[in-house]
Amino acid sequence: MNTVKCPTCKKIVTWDNENPWRPFCSERCKLIDLGEWAAESHRITGETADHYTVQNQGEKESH
């Protein structure tokens, strides 16, 4: 059985065709990851997304 780590929460996830959210453990983790990606692209294009930027930096520093 193949397993992967959820990129968002690092939980072990079974890589299964019946898991529509793979490699994430859940829809929630997938949406979180997509949200962070969107925040990154906002920053790159110079859009005003200060609240996203501050939140992401705070999370990374706390690890």
| Contacting positions for Zn ion (CB under 5 A) | 6, 8-9, 11, 25, 29
**Which residue, 2, 4, 22, is CA-closest to 12?**
4
From the CB of 39, what's the least distance to Zn ion, in Å? Answer: 18
- CB nearer Zn ion, residue 9 or residue 49: 9
Nearest one of 61, 50, 17, 27 to 9, comparing CA atoms: 27
Q: Decide whether 11 or 16 has the Cβ nearer to Zn ion.
A: 11
Closer to Zn ion by Cβ: residue 4 or 9: 9
